Amino acid sequence: MFNFLSKKLRSWQQQNQNINKENKENDNSKKTKENSQAKLSSNLKENLDSIKAILGVCEDLIIREFAFGNKGQISAAIIFIDGMVDRTLINDNIIKPLMYDNRFICEEESLEIKNIDIIKGTILYVGEIEKSTTINDLVESCLSGDTILLIEKAKEALVISSRGWETRGVVDPETETIVRGPREGFTENLRTNTTLLRRKIKSPDFMLEAMKIGRKTNTAISIAYLKGVANPEVIEEAKRRLKRIDTDGILESGYIEGFIEDAPLSIFSTIGNSEKPDTVAGKILEGRVAVLVDGTPFVLTFPMVFIEGFQSAEDYYSRPYYASLVRVIRFIAFAISILAPSSYVAATTFHQELIPTPLLFTVAASSEGTPFPAVVEVLAMGVIFEILREAGIRLPRPVGQAISIVGALVIGESAVSAGLIGGIVVIVIALTAVASFVVPAQTDSGAILRVILVILAGSMGGVGIMVGLIGILIHLASLRSFGTPYLSPLAPLSPFDLKDVFFRVPIWAMLTRPKSIVRQNIQRQKFILKPTPPPEKKDKGGSK
């Protein structure tokens, strides 16, 4: 016993040491990298060679050597990576002015430093130019799409911002389609995305902080928040967690989510994501922090609470009564999506007395002669449904339709008429499937919960379901997202925030930001904004 324990302990310690070692090695490699930050020499050839040595001979690396000056006496080189730059900008605004502008008359013994400043200051027609002296910097900016201008005899180089690559335009987002509201969605381009947000919140308080994560990918990310509203602790914590990330690559915001979320092993996500600028802007205005990642249209927002999944941007654009009705329907649909199969199993195998008599006859008649117990039927149908769904998403559209036909025929008709499964099971699963799409944020967690609850219901009946639900409740109650309890504003209860949970009050009555998220600047609008008719004019002879 104790042998075992001590072994276990020892292996732990070893693991820890190994990890520490690795970390140290990483640090070392970083240091050597920093040491090797060679400065530019004054020889163009040398500089080019050292850049080539780092970047290697790639087909998309283009080095254009040319000469300029009134006598063509200054040789220079432009380095850029094809496909990541705006070619017309390089041709028209960098090479053309340099070679065409003859006013650049230079003495034989002219100083190289002066040349650089003159070129930067008077010749190039480009918005953003920086000077750089180290080769590493040059390589990095070249890789991110800038153009480098190297000049003979200069110990500095110009980094000319010329990023321009094919991007998708701003289009209707696919995951969150709405009827009323802005149609634009985020794109893969970080700059476009920040612009979309900036266009919504034109305030000096709106802060965007840049960061680069990923040793190999060097992915740019931005932290967006509203200064004076967002909880500074959350911002600090977010930055701390983001800085902790030391990985080779970030390809999508999901990577970031995985690294910074509070409950990495939970089936519930504690960080929200959205593809719509208006949704994200709304969340930022409520005091949340957003993280935009280059290369993905999905923007992370946190702190996230459970009920956020039930709120849609459109709720706030439509009239409050309808919005509230839809809200309630979403809650019902979520309940159906996780409870319907397990309730069916529990009712038909444990609590037949709960089924009204005529319904019981129908259910009994439909399950008469089917070979499998109800649990197996429901689980199998659930798995088949998930397979169909997955196939439908992954396959190309035309084939996807074929899948749905096959699914409908095989499962809906043949299986029932062959007596393999009861007709009621098909109805239950179909209802579940439809309901599970109503709350997209919880679709994935719902699928898992469904399976767990069906198994529990199959072994313990209704008590099993209740045990499962209480377990879920305990789990949800113990979750936090960046310091905010996941179940707030329900638990802990903050009565003021209930204005936006089961029903949505009119916009003019939404006086405060959610208290569980924001600690400062709680009030978001003036107190009396309820529209009223203008006061009646008191002149009595008005009718004439």
Partner 1 sequence: MKMIILLAMVFLIILIIEAPKLIVNKYWKELIVFLSLLSLAFILTVLVILGVDIPSPLEGIEYLIDDILDLSWERK
Partner 2 sequence: MRNRKIIVSIIICILLTLSISGCWNRRELNTFSILMGMGIDKAEEVGKVQLTAQIINVSELKQGGSSNKEAYLAVRSTGDTVFDALRNFTKESNRKIYLPHNKVLILGEDIATEGVQKYIDFFVRDHEMRLRESVLVAKGKAEEILNVKSELEKIPAAGISSLLKSQNATSEATDVDMKDFISRLMSKTTAPIAPLIEISGEEEKKVLRISGMAIFKQDKWVGELEGSKARGILWVIDKIESGIIVVDCPNEEGKMSLEIIRASSKITPELKGDKVSIKVEIKEEGHIGDQECPCELKSHDISSIEKMKTTVIRAEVISALEKARELNTDIFGFGDSVHQKYPKQWKDIESSWDEVFPEIEVEIVVDAKVRRSGILIMPASS
Partner 3 sequence: MKIEKGVISSSQLTFMIIGFLQASNLLLVFSSRIVNHDSWLAILVGLVISIPIALSYAALAKEFSGKTLIQISDIIYGAYLGKMISVSYILIFLLTFSIDLRLFSDFLITYIMPETPIWAILTLLTFLSAWAVRGGIEVIARCSFIIIAMASIIILSTFVFLLSDMEFSNFLPVFDLPLKDFIQGTHINVSLYYLEIIIFLMIMAFVNKTEQVRGSMLWGLILGGVSLLILEVRNVAVLGIVSNILTSPSFNAVRYISVAEVFTRLEMFVVIMLITTVFLKVSIMYYATVLGLAQTLHLRSYLPLVTPIGIITISLCIISGDSSMELLHGGMYIWPVFILPIQLFPVLSLFIVKLRKKSKKLGANEE
Report yes or no: 76 and 67 within 8 Å, Cβ to Cβ.
yes
Q: Which residues bind partner 1 (CB under 8 A)?
A: 1, 4-5, 8-9, 12
335 lies in the binding site for partner 3 (CB under 8 A): no
Map residue 147 onto helix, strand or coil. Answer: strand
449 vs 337: CA distance, rounded Å:
9
CA distances in angstroms from 368 to 99, 348, 350, 353, listed in the order given: 89, 12, 16, 18
Number of chain positions touching partner 2 (CB under 8 A): 27
Q: Using alpha carbons, list the distances in angstroms from residue 389 to 181, 410, 527.
A: 28, 14, 48
In angstroms, give the least distance from the CB of 306 to partner 3.
11
Binding site partner of 374, from partner 3, partner 2, partner 1, none, Cβ cut-off 5-8 A by kind: partner 2
Closest CA to 508 of 319, 366, 288, 237: 319
Check residue 532 for interaction with partner 2 (CB under 8 A).
Answer: no
Stretch that binds partner 3, among 119-127, 401-409, 474-482, 509-517 (CB under 8 A): 474-482
Angle between helices 374-394 and 397-407 (to 10 degrees): 160
Q: Is 187 in the site for partner 2 (CB under 8 A)?
A: no
8 contact choice in partner 3, partner 2, partner 1, none (CB below 5 to 8 Å, kind-dependent): partner 1
A 10 A CB-CB count for 337 gives 24
Q: What is the CA radius of gyration of the chain?
A: 31
Contact assessment for residue 441 and residue 312, using Cβ atoms and an 8 Å cutoff: no
Q: Nearer Cβ to partner 3, position 171 or 491?
A: 491
Contact call for residue 367 and partner 2 (CB under 8 A) = yes
According to CB under 8 A, which residues from 326 to 365 bind partner 2? 348-350, 352-353, 357, 360-361, 363-365
- Between residues 157 and 479, which has the closer beta carbon with respect to partner 2? 479
490 binds partner 3 (CB under 8 A): yes
473 binds partner 3 (CB under 8 A): yes
Answer with the entry of partner 1, partner 3, partner 2, none that 462 interacts with (C-beta below 5 to 8 A by kind): partner 3
Query: Which secondary structure element, helix H or strand E, spans residue 98, and what is its range?
Result: helix 96-100
What is the residue-wise DSSP string for 487-502? Answer: TTTTTTT-GGGGGBTT
Bond before 398 cis per omega within 30 degrees: no
Select from partner 1, partner 3, partner 2, none the partner in contact with residue 349, using the beta carbon and a kind-dependent cut-off of 5 to 8 Å. partner 2
CA distance 331 to 269: 18
Q: Which does 5 bind (CB under 5 to 8 A by kind): partner 2, partner 1, partner 3, none?
A: partner 1
- The minimum distance between CB 366 and partner 2, in angstroms, equals 8
Quick one: which of 474, 293, 464, 459 has its CA closest to 373? 459
Q: How far is the CB of 250 from partner 2 (least distance, A)?
A: 22
User: Contact at 8 Å (CB) between 502 and 327?
Assistant: yes
| Chain residues 433-462 in contact with partner 3, contact rule CB under 8 A | 460-462
Interacting partner of 361 out of partner 1, partner 2, partner 3, none (Cβ under 5 to 8 A depending on kind): partner 2
- Which residues make up the interface to partner 2 (CB under 8 A)? 263-266, 348-350, 352-353, 357, 360-361, 363-370, 373-374, 455, 458-461
- Which residues make up the interface to partner 3 (CB under 8 A)? 350-351, 353-356, 460-463, 466-467, 470-471, 473-474, 477-478, 485, 487, 490-493
